[in-house]
A and B are shown apart, each in its own frame.
Chain A
Amino acid sequence: MRNARFVCMPRSVEEAVAAVVEGGANPLAGATWILRAPLRGEALAEGYAVLGGAEDLCAVEIGEAGIRIGAAVTHAALSVALVGVEGFVGLAQAASEAANPAVREVATVGGNLCAAGFAASDLAPALIAAGAEVEIHSAAGVERQSVEAFLAARATRPPGWLMTRIFAPCSARLSAHARLPLRQAGDYPVAILSLSIERRADGAIASARVAVGSVEPVARRWPGLEQALEGQTLDPDAAAEWARARLGDFEGRDGVEAPGWYRTQVLPGLARAAFRSLRAQV
Chain B
Amino acid sequence: MALSLTINGEVFASRRDPMTPLIDVLREDLALTGAKAVCREGFCGACMVLIDGRPAVSCLTPIALAEGRDIRTIEGLGRDGEPTPLQQALEAQDVVQCGMCFPGMVVTLTAFLAAEPGATRDEIKRALVGNICRCTGYERIIDAALVCAAGARD
Contact = CB atoms under 8 A, between A and B. Distances in A.
A187 B43 contact: yes
A181 B56 CA distance: 22
Interface in A174-193: 185-187
B42 A32 contact: yes
> By DSSP majority rule, is chain A's interface helix, strand, loop, or mixed?
mixed
Nearest to A32: B60
B25 to A, nearest CB: 13
A39 B37 CA distance: 14
Interface in B108-133: 108, 126-127, 129-130, 132
A103 B41 contact: no
A188 B132 CA distance: 15
Interface residues of A, number: 24
A52 B62 CA distance: 13
Nearest to A29: B65
Contacts of A36: 40-42, 60
A102 interface: yes
Contacts of A187: 43
Most buried by B among A31, A32, A35, A99: A35
A8 B9 CA distance: 26
Given A7-B18, A39-B40, A187-B43, A100 B129 contact: yes
Given A50-B65, A102-B57, A103-B42, A5 B17 contact: yes
Given A7-B19, A35-B19, A102-B45, A186 B60 contact: no
B55 A102 contact: yes
Interface string B8-34: 000000000111010000000000000
Contact of B130 (A7, A28, A44, A186): A186
Contacts of B59: 35
A117 interface: no
A4 interface: yes
B64 interface: yes
Contacts of B57: 32, 102-103
A78 interface: no
A36 to B, nearest CB: 6
B18 A31 contact: no
A48 interface: yes
Interface in A99-143: 99-103, 105-106
8 nearest A-B pairs in the assembled complex, by CB-CB distance: A100-B130, A186-B129, A7-B18, A7-B64, A100-B129, A35-B60, A185-B129, A102-B55
11 contacts: A5-B17, A31-B61, A36-B41, A50-B65, A101-B55, A102-B42, A102-B45, A103-B60, A186-B43, A186-B129, A186-B132
Interface of A: 4-5, 7, 28, 31-32, 34-36, 39, 44, 48, 50, 52, 99-103, 105-106, 185-187
Interface of B: 17-19, 21, 40-43, 45, 48, 54-57, 59-62, 64-65, 108, 126-127, 129-130, 132
Given A31-B62, A35-B61, A39-B41, 10 more contacts: A34-B19, A35-B21, A48-B18, A50-B64, A52-B65, A101-B108, A101-B126, A101-B130, A102-B57, A106-B61
